[in-house]
Amino acid sequence: MRLLEIAKNQFYLSFSMLEQMIDMCPDDLWYEQKDGFVFWQQLLHALTGMNFWFRLDNETFIEPFENKKVYPELQHVAEDPLSRQELFSYKEEVKATVEAYFANKDDAWLQKRSVVFKSLTNLDIIFGQVRHVQHHVGYCNSILREHNKGVVKWLDYYGEKKGMVPIHR
């Protein structure tokens, strides 16, 4: 298996867990402020990070939901609500960005400099996003556990092709 396929698979496993978190967060926690931020704001932050870092050019980045005070960089607690459907729709936009980022690439591309931040390679960007997404999934899982709710299960991967997890459709 090529290195790109391994990196992509590890990222997709993390992304899949984030998708599951959007689906399974109970309605009674979705709008609750927990440990400083509204639950959905943690998920928006993780998605915004992917949308920023997985750009194919270094154009000016426009944060999502400009017409709302949702603070995707967690500068403040959100002042406006964001529905699950709105976050789901944004997740679909991010998914398209991710798929374009990985499309028609090879192992050599992993070592090339990122167009967004020249001191990092594309592989650095991928690994950074895996870590970032897993941090927020774990953070949200701990909130769910505190409230005796079901959590997103860890997605295992043992190197088998059949274990590869595509981004949910």
Task: Enumerate domains of the chain plus CATH numbers.
Answer: 3-163 (1.20.120.450)
Which one-letter amino acid corresponds to residue 87? L
> In the structure, what pLDDT confidence band is assigned to residue 159 with cuts at 50, 70 and 90?
confident
Name, in order, each residue with C-beta under 8 angstroms of 138's C-beta and a sequence gap of 6 or more: none
Q: Has residue 27 got a pLDDT over 50? A: yes
pLDDT of residue 164: 44
Q: Are 151 and 141 contacting, i.e. CB atoms less than 8 angstroms apart?
A: yes
Q: Is the pLDDT of residue 169 over 60?
A: no
pLDDT digits (tens, 9 = 90+) for 34-90: 888 999 999 999 999 999 999 999 889 999 999 999 999 999 999 999 999 999 999
- Work out the pLDDT band at 168, boundaries 50, 70, 90: very low
- For 115, the token pair is 């167009």
Rounded mean pLDDT of 111-129? Answer: 97
DSSP, residue by residue, 83-124: -HHHHHHHHHHHHHHHHHHHTT--HHHHHSBPSS-TTSBHHH
Q: At residue 23, does pLDDT exceed 80?
A: yes
Which of these ranges, 65-74, 133-142, 146-155, 158-167, has the smallest mean pLDDT? 158-167
Measure Cα distances from 132 to 46, 127, 169 in Å: 7, 9, 22
Q: Which parts of the chain fold into alpha helices (H)? A: 3-24, 27-30, 39-53, 84-102, 107-111, 122-146
Which of the 8 DSSP states describes residue 135? H
What local confidence, expressed as pLDDT, does residue 31 receive? Answer: 95
**pLDDT mean over 21-25:** 96
